[in-house]
């Protein structure tokens, strides 16, 4: 019931495919995903920039911002080259803090990049980013159970990886308290990246 694919805010494959420039971009997207089915391709790691949001958003400016957020996630995780990838984390946290309607999209984009990611450095950076998202802002009440189930499954699946458990703890902290008023200390984030 609470699997990510069943989240009501997620775009259907048809909605995802029928956005502007879908023919070329989606075909490239699916090919890059090694021929896996469209739903899995939409929610699996990619080096390609999204052409639209993964979730239903209230306006075209929000969709445009979601595409920019994904570029920043790609850059932070090292999946695309950016001059200063560490500074992207602060920008992402600011967006999540200031634009609540984009939070679930940001969580799902990060989950997408953690799914079937074959690069361990990229994967660790994704987990760090997800943890810092959860230190800064909660998911919507509607998405909370989907995120919790995904984290619980990852905790079992990735026993050697401490991040799913840390993210789960952080999810519980942030959902049972008010939004943090300030961003977490990014020195800690940079320290985690260096280790």
- pLDDT score, position 141: 95
- HEC states along 53-110? CCECCCCHHHHHHHHHHHHHHHHHHCCCCCCCHHHHHHHHHHHHHHCHHHHHHHHHHH
- pLDDT score, position 184: 74
Two tokens, residue 168: 């789960």
- pLDDT score, position 35: 43
Q: Which residue has the tokens 């739903």?
A: 39
- pLDDT score, position 41: 76
* Low-confidence residues in the chain, pLDDT < 50: 20-21, 24, 33-36
- pLDDT score, position 83: 81
């Amino acid at each position: 019931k609470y699997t990510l694919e069943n989240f009501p805010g997620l775009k259907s494959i048809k909605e995802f495919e029928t956005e502007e420039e879908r023919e070329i971009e989606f075909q490239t997207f699916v090919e890059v995903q090694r021929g896996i089915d469209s739903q899995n391709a939409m929610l699996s790691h990619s080096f390609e920039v999204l052409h639209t949001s993964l979730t239903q958003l209230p306006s075209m400016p929000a969709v445009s911002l979601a595409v920019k957020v994904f570029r920043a996630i790609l850059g932070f995780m090292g999946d695309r080259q950016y001059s200063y990838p560490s500074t992207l984390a602060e920008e992402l946290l600011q967006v999540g803090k200031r634009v609540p309607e984009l939070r679930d999209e940001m969580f799902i984009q990060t989950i997408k990049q953690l799914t079937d990611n074959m690069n361990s450095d990229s994967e660790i950076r994704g987990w760090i980013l997800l943890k810092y998202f959860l230190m800064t802002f909660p998911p919507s009440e509607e998405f909370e159970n989907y995120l919790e189930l995904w984290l619980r499954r990852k905790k079992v699946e990735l026993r050697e990886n401490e991040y799913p458990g840390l993210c789960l703890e952080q999810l519980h902290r942030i959902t049972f308290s008010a939004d943090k008023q300030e961003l977490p200390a990014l020195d800690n984030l940079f320290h985690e990246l260096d280790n």
